[in-house]
Structure 1
Amino acid sequence: MTGLWSKLRLVLLVAVGAGYLILDYMASSSSQPPVYAVLIGAIPLTTGVVAACWNSSFRWPAMLLCLGGLVAIALNFDRLLTHAAWLYFFQYVGIMIGLGIMFGSTLGSHEGALCSRIARTAVAEPLDAHYLHYTWKVTLAWTLYFAASALVSLLLFAFAPLAWWALFASLLTPVSLGLMFGGEYLIRLRALPGQPHFSIAQTIRAYRQYTQSRDAAE
């Protein structure tokens, strides 16, 4: 029964994710997108802003400022609909730049690289210098990926038809993310034979554990 529920949950997550990507594309590729597509597509940005305000040192002033911004958006929602693509553009580029900075800022040492920290969380036994050098290079690869994604998005948004940019941001980016995860795993199997390995799901779980332990330490 547990196995069946896990499969159903996976199917549901895939269906929800696919539906979100379709709505994202509809809202970002049209000059007059459906209202529901814009509302659903804005969920990641809104959630991130609210979470950042809630976790800030000035929680309640930040939350009041956030509430004021949401009220202002609600009062000018018609204008937002006619400029929905800009909302998606800033959301996409902001996420990519933020992730690039998060990964790139840890490249100062092999031990401190973000992927090295995640690997130490996922693997119980100590990791040698060769392993940490590899995870440093993975951190660099992700940094370059996020920087390239932001740059390509900027160029497409500025010089190509809007539908091309929407296709890249909404559909091609999830595919490229999957290729990055899967490709890194296959490369790791060849680059680190005989070393402990962990799956993509374990990587995501280890990242969550790492962020939770970091937040608790702070």
Structure 2
Amino acid sequence: MINAGLMRGLVIAFAIIGYAILANYTNQSTHSATLGVLVALAPLILTGIIMTWHATRRGYLIATIIVTTSLAWLMWPMLELHYGWIYWLEHESLQWALLLTFARTLRQQRQPLCTQLATIVHGELTPLYARYTYQVTVAWTAFFALMIIISTSLFFLQPIAVWSIFANFIFMPLVAVMFIAEYAVRKIVRPELAQVNIMDAVRAFMQHSAHRH
């Protein structure tokens, strides 16, 4: 039998890929305005449903959803003309969230995010390892800043079809390449740290965050 965790991961992966294909289709076609709005709003709708499901005071969220839905209905013709902006704002929000997640931990008196992950998995770090994880946090911060610049430039300077290819099919592979590049650099520059598995650290951090809540 297929492991439940693996099955869940496959379902999520196929959903993400399917959404990317559908979103790109609506951005490439000139006859899919209604579908474009619906697909663009889908992540927001799903987020609203999840928040309502887990909320202890659902009345406020339900009222917000009703008001938002009413506004969307009234503004539907405009949304059909400019649904590409919804895609872009969602994509930029994701990138900014990732950028700030790393960047805010680089402030004084804060522990860099990659240092936090490594500490959760391995306990107290050596000064050499701590310095390396600081540098990796800086690298991820710079990476997401670059992604924001590229995405914004493509959206405003190129047809939306070009931006859509980047947002739906290039951005996530670049994130994967960043993981691979970091491991390759670590293996060359800090071979004593090459056995560290970043995914173990991510899983530990997620579990740690879940226990805190």
- Could you state the TM-score of these two structures normalised by the residue count of structure 1? 0.79
Q: 1:177 aligns with which of 175, 178, 182?
A: 175
Number of the residue aligned with 1:81:
80
Q: Give, in whole Å, the separation in 1 of the partners of 2:182 and 2:30.
A: 38
Contact preservation (8 Å) 2:151, 2:167:
yes
Whole-Å separation in 2 of the counterparts to 1:151 and 1:52 = 30
SS of 1:126's equivalent in the other structure is coil
Within the alignment, does 1:71 sit opposite 2:80 as a pair? no
Q: How does 1:6-155 map to 2 (within 5 A)?
A: 11-33=10-32, 35-36=34-35, 38-48=37-47, 61=60, 64-108=63-107, 112-121=111-120, 123-155=121-153
Q: 1:197, 1:213 → 2: CA distance? A: 27
| CA positional deviation for 1:126 | 2.2
Asked whether the 8 Å contact 1:27–1:41 carries over to 2, the reply is no
Q: Secondary structure at the match of 1:42?
A: helix
TM-score by length of 2: 0.80
For the pair 1:164 / 2:162, whether they are aligned, the reply is: yes
Return the letter of the residue paired with 2:80. Answer: L
CA change 1:66–1:102 in 2 (3 A) is farther
User: CA separation of 1:10/1:19 partners in 2, compared to 1, >3 Å: closer, same or farther?
Assistant: same
Q: Provide the rounded CA distance (Å) in 2 between the counterparts of 1:31 and 1:204.
A: 41
170-179 vs 78-87, which deviates more?
78-87
The two structures, once aligned, show a CA RMSD in angstroms of 3.3
The alignment partner of 1:105 has SS state of helix
The answer for unaligned runs of 5 or more in structure 2 is none
Do the aligned residues in 1 keep the contact of 2:187 with 2:194 (CA within 8 Å)?
no
How many residue pairs were aligned?
A: 213
Q: 1:36 to 1:200 in 2, by over 3 A?
A: farther
Q: Distance in 1 between matches of 2:107 and 2:138?
A: 11
**Could you say which residue in structure 1 is the equivalent of 2:203?**
205
User: Do the aligned partners of 1:103 and 1:139 also contact (CA within 8 Å) in 2?
Assistant: yes
Unmatched tracts of structure 1, length 5 or more: none
